[in-house]
Structure 1
Amino acid sequence: MSSLRALRPFSTASRALAKTRVPSLGNVPPHDDGHYFSPTRYPAPPPATESQASDVMPSSDAKSGLIKSILYGSDQSKKEQAAAERSYSNQLSRGKYVHEMVVHKVRPDRAPDYVDLVSQVYPRIAATGPLDDSSHKVHLVGSWRTVIGDDLDTYVHIWEYSSFAGFHDVNFHLHNHEPFFLDYIEKVRPMLVSRKSDLMQEFDFWGGTAAPHDLGGIFELRSYNLKAGQLLNWETSWKRGLECRRQVMEPVGAWFNQLGEINTVHHLWQFADLEHRKSCRDKCWHLPGWANTVHETVGLVNRMQSHVLVALPFSPLK
């Protein structure tokens, strides 16, 4: 009897494997806040009896007020805290709109393929709305390629959503109801070195992002990473500075990051060419108030970057 074991036959038939989808907002159905704060899930504790209350808190009103002040903060401190929160959420922001800045670093050898792909897909995304809402919740502000900066094969896209909920709704819809979007994801991944997404809101003092137009020329995206806690000071100084700049150059948009690289501010400007940019910036120094803006803001910044961009053919802003 042979001591060799019978070899297990191998099948040459290929197995059909289901394509794996990486996690995304397409896996997270939109909810209202009640999903997480339902009274049935977190019932209120039963009211304390008199004996229990006396064990926890002295009966003296003075002592009660002192302990509450220590544990929860005084009424004045709570008012000051609420005012500070309103300053950040209401005073800085123009309204409900949320903007997303998407940055793609593209492999140099795939740049033409990338431009062809986004030229076909991005206008289609901008024309897509969630199934349960006929109004569009996303608009493409603009798409650009970096021509001067630290990464030349970098493309910047800015999207506008109706709200944070609108951002979620659109992404959920695209991942679950638009096969062309999943096809785009599969095609674009091999073209990229890296990708980044920040959610931003507009500064109220700026007056809103520019409407679609075709002026030609170049764009300059200036990004400032601020020291923590200095955003309000930045906004106060730039209220005055913008009045100077408006006299000599075309403002396009200004945003501060809410998610992503926080404490970061972006300003977008448009010029005819580099010489026009230089001339406009030189003129600012002769306008009352501009030197003060520079003096007040330079100490608020950790680092800053400047990138010169050119619009892609399908960009609403160009």
Structure 2
Amino acid sequence: MLGSFTAFARRAALCKILHQPTLPWVLSSPFGTGPQQDTGTIFELRTYDIKPAKTKECMELINRDIRFRLAHSELIGFWTAELGSMNTVFHIWKYDNFAHRAAVRKAIASDKEWQGKLSAILPLLKTMDMEIAYLVPWCELGTPPKEGVYELITYQQKPGGPALWGQSFKAAIDAHVRASYAKLIGVFHTEYGLLNTVHVLWWHESADSRAAGRHRAHEDARVVAAVRESVQFLESQRNMLLIPAPFSSLK
């Protein structure tokens, strides 16, 4: 105990010299000195709610004309919600950095052909939401083994960022990955939008295989323990089962 107190006192003294708070985790947190998010590549996550009874018309236009938008930047995936939401599409775009995104947005605004196509789509939308996110440093963008369905789980974490909840959140994700209940595609931490939000994208062979895996996860003591530790930092969560569009890179 004396040794621990002495170590703390030394850290406190150093913090005072540096004009830093005297909290013991300031100097020892693995999220303060460990891998950091790539501040180059960014991902734009867009969620559009389509007006009721207009989904079929809207998707027909998008399927026909999306090639004009694809000429400007890389589409990671485009999906329609099958379960968890109605009349909703979700898509992810990749940019090298913020300057790249700004250049693309400028080019899109000057693209009269795409703007003409877009003018027919916009009246069919009820709401549009956009977030900018990074992949977390311990996750690379995955690829599915074959065509299937996707599950997007959105976690609203307690304020404080990864320094507060990152380690337990990673442990919960790792427990599911090790159990092979699903294929992890990406873990995205929001930089612009609702902060302390994490979107986790999983691939499943089918909705039934997802249900079976979910059932096994509930009986896996390792997964249950990791989730129990993580939920203490959770405010809310929701999910959607997603069907990839024909032009989606992730199928």
Scaled by the length of structure 1, the TM-score of the pair is 0.65
- The yes-or-no answer on 1:102 pairing with 2:35 is no
C-alpha separation in 2, matches of 1:214 and 1:111: 29
Any conservation in 1 of the 2:81–2:87 contact (CA below 8 Å)? yes
Q: Percent identity?
A: 20
Secondary structure of the residue that 1:189 maps to in structure 2? helix
Deviation at 1:95, TM superposition (A): 4.9
1:198 CA drift (Å)? 0.5
Which of 64, 89, 93 is residue 37 of structure 2 equivalent to? 93
Quick check: 2:172–2:230 contact (8 Å CA) kept in 1? Answer: no
Instruction: Give the superposition deviation at 1:298.
Output: 1.0
Question: What does residue 4 of structure 1 align with?
Answer: none
Instruction: Give the counterpart of 1:75 among 18, 26, 37.
Output: 18
Could you say which residue in structure 2 is the equivalent of 1:273?
Answer: 206
Aligned-partner SS, 1:108 = coil
What does residue 262 of structure 1 align with? Answer: 195
Does structure 2 conserve the Cα–Cα contact (< 8 Å) formed by 1:102 and 1:196? yes
Q: Deviations over 1:13-47 (max 9, x none)?
A: xxxxxxxxxxxxxxxxxxxxxxxxxxxxxxxxxxx
| 1:144 equivalent in alignment to 2:79 | yes
Q: 1:239 aligns with which of 145, 170, 173?
A: 170
Higher relative contact order (CA 8 A, sep 6+): 2
Q: Which has the higher strand share?
A: 2
Q: CA deviation at 1:120?
A: 3.1
CA–CA distance in structure 2, aligned partners of residues 141 and 89 of structure 1? 30
Give the counterpart letter for 1:256 in structure 2.
H
Decide whether the 8 Å contact of 2:42 with 2:94 is kept in 1.
Answer: yes
Task: Tell me the residue number matched to 2:107.
Answer: 173
Shift of 1:94: 4.0
- Write the distance in 2 (CA, Å) between the matches of 1:308 and 1:271: 10
Equivalent pairs, count:
233
Judge which range, 156-165 or 275-284, deviates more.
275-284
State the shift of 1:92 in Å. 4.6
Runs of 4+ in 1 over 4 A off after TM superposition: 86-90, 285-288
Unpaired segments of 5 or more residues in structure 2?
Answer: 1-15
Deviation at 1:243, TM superposition (A): 2.9
Larger Rg: 1
- The alpha carbon displacement at 1:284 in A equals 3.2
The Cα offsets for residues 265-303 of structure 1, whole Å up to 9 and x where unpaired, read as: 100111122221122233335556422321122121111
